[in-house]
């Protein structure tokens, strides 16, 4: 259960004030291993989630696994979106085994962690379970992650559930941060929904065309 | 576990005497975002569930999210079915954050809440979890709701399970209310099953034709 | 290639002036054998196609296979839609083997035949191939028909293709009859699209709501 | 956790000595509503499970819902397999609400209940949850049951899991009863596997042919 | 185009008087290679087709590929159904390369050949194309055959179409032989449909129960 | 067979010198009717195809169906990509029935037409068949079009095949125009592949990172 | 929760020092019963998991069910990989009911058990639940196991979850053992990933080719 | 129709004496673009087909597209299997546009071409159609090729069919070359089937185990 740091109230939801975003091993080589979402879709979802981090100014931690080798560098779009963030390159399989990564997480000062990564069964499941063990609240963003096949992903989801990780999707994370359509950030959020869900831009364009008659 | 208000006995089931129906954001624009059920099917299921509310005279709470904008108005058929119900239009993403909505729920005097909405991962999952946190019993009607894709829906279902929400379908809700085929309402319920499941009307028509020989 | 009766020009399309609609064995018992479309969907499509017949005042031929027995009577909605049409009940498997059926087709005076039936592999494929052999042009409406499974349907579609039958869907038939949105019938057709596609009613409702602001 | 009646030891497994088989509403009309398994498959699985009851001489309780009406009579093969069993016809939706049914269950003297029925979300889920509430151990046999669609079934499975029902399949039930291939019943069980899994008869036939060279 | 031997008229359909049934390599070992239909289903369909041969007294040719080795013997049920038929065991991959097989086909005196086999892409496609080349009319029964996967089957279906083979399913073959429900054989055929489609037995049972009220 | 205008040689392929691109009814309202591709994917494919038109400087014809009404305006991105192109708004269902559209096609001076549209079964199939009838060569771009469901699309594809339309995908069109990776346009084409296939940008980024070691 | 034997610390993960690998009934006959993964895939996964045992020198227990009969011998590749391991042939369905098997497990001295088997619903689920009951920690490797169909597998997964078994896949097991890419075993592990995931060998080959420019 | 070079007879089949194998663009980078078969499967099929070339000593032509760049080198296994074959690296998209490639094909002296490549819609479809235009007979091996998605592949298959290309799978090619199980090469072919189909090795192992009792 998330511990709201400001108000000390317990809430089942994360907010822009108490959450951090952890993007793990979204590397150009590793993404080729995702075979249960097509490449257009998983990239759309990863970038959609990263943009949530920008819109709500969440602390972001970026990490890669041996980016110099065949795993490849971080997705170029992520590097562009967070030019000032250090990318922590590791030799540990479980990011949580890397002290530098854990330190970066601690320095966010947030106890609610939003995690996504490639591949779900390792790069997300392992640190998610480790973080739960350390007392953090964790949401694993399934559609901004990816797996070898549906069977492997289903096993990973089951294991995370058993450990107490909440499963979610980038659209749910985004909506959880937005909270209220009267906030200043709402139009920016609406544009983001339009760009990344596809359908919402169409609905908005139809609406505007109809209203202008 | 549902608290039966009349008898004070605890039952794992909801009944027409202790349940309320909450229909959340079934709007003409938002439904376009449902991509894991086709439009014919999800509309059939939403209207089937709404009709259960009518047949068993359940207290109904209707709400929309910014119905004046591109999200669009409530499904016209719902407006027709419940002409006297106020539709609570909100700016809050989570309906439970809207005091007017919570007040409407409280005024039903029911502690067992049947919820459906578009999209499942936000419009159903958020208020369902909030209601559980307030001590209500909640059934989320999965097939009268809809999601971007099966992966997002699966995450939403997992999160609701973890929070203690029961998942169900409109046919199960309807059968749970019916309870006994000797009740006066049974023929009306049978007609409803016929119209909305498709197969049952066929079975009844075959039966009547055979019986009339 | 369709022979336009009025103008004697050859066209690859059917029109309201040269086509007849043949509905074959849509019976309450037989529809239970359709396992590659769910009941809600196949019934929606059958009724959508029948309504095209009404809107464009096409000559309609209705036939059943041993409706007194377990195959069951014609779908009640079809009986209601065409109260004045005789339903030709047959013992022949292939409707085209029944002289009364062929006579009814000939009496329509149309050489372009739109056929749908349950089950595709028999009730549609057999008479469609027979009619082609007699020099008629035939469109088989795949989604207003149904089959045991996708493999059987695929074989039936292949066999009809080989014989020269054109495959189509109810929406394509309807659009082919409409031809021009400035025709008097257009609003009625738009309402029909709204009711039977699901999405179009939503798009129209959103449009009207937006235009009324 | 199952309470072994003879030895008073607790086991997570059911055995032929402590389990009863409850077959609920496998009626000729209702089965038409199963749309997430094809008819050949669901019937194969229902008969396979019923045969387990015969092989291990389990107490069997048979019940139907308004078998005189369109729901139709019990599957003829079930009537043949258990000619001496009374079929309890009910008006209650939840079989557990029918005193006669509960009495029949009690008279089996077994605390471990194996349940299957049509449709899963109502005819299985409701009495399974009721039985759990009364202190019974329950296994729900998913593949000898059936549902409108996968979404409705998934909701039903989740709800049963939450209540503490174990989910299983007819092959697992059968193997759980068999326990040891040296038992006298083993050859009969092997024949049953051959007939109902399809693959095992082939494997046995190949084996025998090869051995006879 | 089939050449009707009695009347010398050309018909696009096969009949009980002019067709022969060729069952190719339905062996206990080879069937394990079918991965695009489950074992229960493909066996049901093979036996359903074989029964059509019995009901309409079609000449039947049975052949196997090296039945002494790992490919295994013919399906035991087929041996039982046709105890007097010789099973032609071959070393040729394409049955049509085996003179004994071709001779057996010629001795049927039929020019319309109904073929099924395991695996579709070899055991059906090769002799079907060879027979077409020799001037026979061929129907390949897709659902009484089977393939490694859908992609391989689709290629095989395309190749057969290009060569002029008609694709069909056992139910269509059966209906094509039946032709008229007033024939003496009709009740036997109805029973066969009931047993092998699953749904039809249910529909008949419901019908009889309703009629007996 | 395409008639190369410059060389008068017949080629089975289209080239940048002899082809025109026709985009038909990609409107914000109509796209909501596509239910056999998700919105992210179909929009990606439409924009990918439109970009091929830009890269190879193909003559482009844009048309809409009653864009003032609920069908909605052309996709905003298409308007931006082709700011100088007139958008021909029609009341005719079949674009080829509109003289202004046909005139625009004729004015391109190209006999090889690349067509895509929403919905495939009407907006693509109808004008594609009409154009074939007028002696044009036509490629229909299936993945930059969309349909109600796979069954309707399959029927439409079959009908177009029968009429002589070639089916293709945006990536094949693009590769057919490129022809040779030594052309000046190749780097721009490579960038386009990267952006719109997803995988190719990853492969290039991995390559560059590895090469830079 | 796993009890690390060396350090007495509790960890949610298994390691090469505290885990044993149990391979159950991967026999040539039984594998034919797997119908929810194709044979190429399930064999790849089983061999991939076995290789993890070799690479990390895990204690391995091999067992078969009546290997002399139609169930067939252990997969030949497994016999080759572990030539010195005794294969415990049993008559008990549940391997945990066989004292020799339990003794072999105890002799590994490990409390963390990695289990895979054919079929999941019996050969994995039964001993996994038994082992949990005896206080072991268990991971069930879903993709190196296999089931009759997805419905039966889903029931089995649910039942194991309820009992406290963690679900996983061979790639996750392998990564959990690796822990750190600086270990001596890492290159061997990388080669294994390349061979058994397919994609990783490609990524490495591309990387090396690019680096060598 | 294939022209048998030795006997001048026309046959619809290819043989080891008249066919050549063309492997096109199976490169480590490009294969990442295959999203309608998983990597394990498509690689298995490509290597299975290449092995057919070895077993029957077919002339083999290997070609790549810009192998120095991100497309990557030829699959390492292919380089190993054909160490003496030159790999023709091209800048032309359509291999048939490269004179060196066409010369290599001509030098095989074979008029029957077996083609596979990555991606189907370009690397197979383009040269296949070109070769047909030059009078060759072409078989396209669908499962040793791969595509972005099923829709793109279906369009490519349709286009090849229209041009007269025969579609096939590696197992059919292999069986077509084998022709007779009494040939010397048969045991080698059986071993190849065992390794690459998965199921056949199991069937053989079971057979041998049974025979040895």
Q: What are the pLDDT digits (tens) for A76-127?
A: 999 999 999 999 999 999 999 999 999 999 999 999 999 999 999 999 999 9
Residue B111 forms contact with C (CB below 8 Å): no
pLDDT of C105 strictly over 70: yes
Q: For position A127, what pLDDT does the model report?
A: 98
Contacts with F28 from chain A: Cβ below 8 Å = 202-203, 205-206, 209
- Across chain F, mean pLDDT equals 94
pLDDT of H3 strictly over 80: no
pLDDT of B108 strictly over 90: yes
What are B85's two structure tokens? 């119900």
pLDDT of C1 strictly over 70: no
Q: pLDDT class for B9, splitting at 50, 70, 90?
A: low
Q: What is the pLDDT of residues D14-24, one digit of tens each?
A: 999 999 999 99
Residue H203 forms contact with D (CB below 8 Å): yes
Question: What would the mean pLDDT of C124-132 be, rounded to a whole number?
Answer: 98
What are E6's two structure tokens? 């009695």
Q: pLDDT class for G81, splitting at 50, 70, 90?
A: very high
What are B15's two structure tokens? 């009944």
Q: For position A211, what pLDDT does the model report?
A: 77
- The catalytic residue among E34, E118, E122, E123 is E123
Q: For position D211, what pLDDT does the model report?
A: 77
Question: What would the mean pLDDT of G41-66 be, rounded to a whole number?
Answer: 97
CB-based burial, H176-207: b 16+ in 10 Å, e otherwise: bbbbebeeebbeebbebbbebbbbbbbbbbbb
C5-19, D126-140, E50-64: least confident range: C5-19
Q: pLDDT class for H163, splitting at 50, 70, 90?
A: very high
Q: For position D156, what pLDDT does the model report?
A: 98
Q: What is the DSSP string of A13-25?
A: S--TTTEEEEEE-
pLDDT of D4 strictly over 50: no
Q: What is the pLDDT of residues B38-78, one digit of tens each?
A: 999 999 999 999 999 999 999 999 999 999 999 999 999 99
Burial degree of H11 (CB within 10 A; 0-12, 13-18, 19+) = middle
Return the SS3 of C90.
Answer: strand
Which of 124-183 (G) contact E at CB < 8 A? 148-149
Report the share of chain A in percent with pLDDT over 90: 90
Q: For position C213, what pLDDT does the model report?
A: 52
Return the SS3 of H100.
Answer: helix
Q: What is the pLDDT of residues A24-44, one digit of tens each?
A: 999 999 999 999 999 999 999
Q: What is the pLDDT of residues G136-163, one digit of tens each?
A: 999 999 999 999 999 999 999 999 999 9
Supply the pTM of this predicted model.
0.96
Please, are residues G87 and G62 in contact by the beta-carbon 8 Å criterion?
yes
Residue F38 forms contact with B (CB below 8 Å): yes
Which residues in chain E land under pLDDT 50? 1-8
Alpha carbon D171 to chain centroid, angstroms: 10
Please, are residues B87 and B78 in contact by the beta-carbon 8 Å criterion?
no
Q: pLDDT class for F144, splitting at 50, 70, 90?
A: very high
Is the domain D2-178 a CATH 3.40.50.850 member?
yes
Interface mutation target, options D66, D99, D151, D156, chain B, most CBs of B under 10 Å: D151
Q: For position A86, what pLDDT does the model report?
A: 96
User: Which residue in C has a C-alpha nearest to residue B76's C-alpha?
Assistant: C205
Residue C41 forms contact with D (CB below 8 Å): no
Q: For position F1, what pLDDT does the model report?
A: 39
- As a whole number of angstroms, the distance between CA C172 and CA C12 comes to 13
Cα–Cα nearest to C66, from B189, E207, G118: E207
Whether B and G touch (3+ CB pairs < 8 Å), yes or no: no
Contacts with A211 from chain C: Cβ below 8 Å = 210-211, 213
Shortest distance between the Cα of D76 and any Cα of chain E, in A, equals 8
pLDDT of F97 strictly over 70: yes
pLDDT of A169 strictly over 50: yes
User: Which residue in F has a C-alpha nearest to residue A202's C-alpha?
Assistant: F28
Q: SS3 helix, strand, coil % of chain B, rounded to 5? A: 50, 20, 30
How would you list the strands of the sheet with B166-168, edge to edge?
Answer: B87-90, B60-65, B19-24, B112-117, B137-141, B166-168
Question: What would the mean pLDDT of G91-107 be, rounded to a whole number?
Answer: 98
Question: What would the mean pLDDT of C38-65 be, rounded to a whole number?
Answer: 97
Q: What is the pLDDT of residues F3-48, one digit of tens each?
A: 444 444 579 999 999 999 999 999 999 999 999 999 999 999 999 9
Q: For position A213, what pLDDT does the model report?
A: 52
Interface touch A206/C203, C-beta < 8 Å:
yes
Q: What is the DSSP string of H70-88?
A: TT-PBPHHHHHH-TTSPEE
Report the share of chain G in percent with pLDDT over 90: 90
| Region(s) of chain H under CATH 3.40.50.850 | 2-178
Measured from the Cβ of residue F37, the count of other Cβ atoms closer than 10 Å reads 23
Q: Is the peptide bond before E119 cis (omega within 30 degrees of 0)?
A: yes
Q: What is the pLDDT of residues E128-167, one digit of tens each?
A: 999 999 999 999 999 999 999 999 999 999 999 999 999 9
Rg (C-alpha) for chain E, rounded Å, is 17
pLDDT of B210 strictly over 80: yes
Interface touch G206/F206, C-beta < 8 Å:
yes
Interface touch F213/G211, C-beta < 8 Å:
yes
User: Which residue in D has a C-alpha nearest to residue E30's C-alpha?
Assistant: D202
pLDDT of H109 strictly over 60: yes
Contacts with C38 from chain D: Cβ below 8 Å = 35, 148-149
Q: For position G7, what pLDDT does the model report?
A: 46
B93-97, C202-206, D41-45, E63-67: least confident range: C202-206
pLDDT of B145 strictly over 90: yes
Cα–Cα nearest to G13, from A127, A124, A152: A127
Question: What would the mean pLDDT of D81-99 be, rounded to a whole number?
Answer: 97
- As a whole number of angstroms, the distance between CA B118 and CA B23 comes to 9
Q: For position G212, what pLDDT does the model report?
A: 67
Q: What is the pLDDT of residues C55-67, one digit of tens each?
A: 999 999 999 999 9
pLDDT of D2 strictly over 60: no
Choose the closest CB to B129 out of A12, A199, A208: A12
Question: Chains touching chain E at 3 or more Cβ pairs under 8 angstroms?
Answer: B, C, D, G, H
Q: For position B18, what pLDDT does the model report?
A: 98
Question: What would the mean pLDDT of H89-110 be, rounded to a whole number?
Answer: 98
- As a whole number of angstroms, the distance between CA E117 and CA A36 comes to 33
């Amino acid at each position: 259960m998330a511990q709201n740091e400001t108000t000390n109230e317990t809430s089942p939801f994360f907010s822009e004030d108490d959450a951090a975003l952890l993007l793990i091993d979204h590397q150009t080589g590793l993404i080729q291993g995702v075979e249960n979402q097509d490449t257009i879709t998983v990239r759309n979802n990863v970038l959609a989630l990263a943009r949530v981090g920008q819109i709500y100014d969440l602390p972001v931690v970026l990490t890669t696994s041996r980016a110099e080798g065949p795993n490849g560098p971080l997705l170029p779009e992520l590097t562009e979106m967070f030019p000032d963030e250090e990318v922590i390159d590791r030799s540990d399989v479980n990011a949580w085994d890397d002290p530098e990564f854990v330190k970066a997480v601690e320095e966010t000062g947030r106890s609610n962690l939003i995690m996504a990564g490639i591949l779900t069964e390792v790069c997300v499941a392992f640190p998610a379970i480790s973080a739960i063990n350390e007392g953090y609240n964790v949401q694993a963003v399934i559609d901004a992650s990816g797996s070898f096949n549906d069977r492997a992903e289903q096993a990973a989801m089951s294991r995370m559930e058993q450990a107490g990780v909440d499963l979610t999707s980038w659209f749910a994370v985004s909506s959880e941060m937005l909270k209220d359509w009267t906030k200043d950030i709402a139009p920016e959020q609406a544009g983001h929904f339009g760009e990344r869900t596809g359908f919402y831009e169409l609905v908005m364009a139809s609406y505007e065309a109809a209203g202008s008659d």
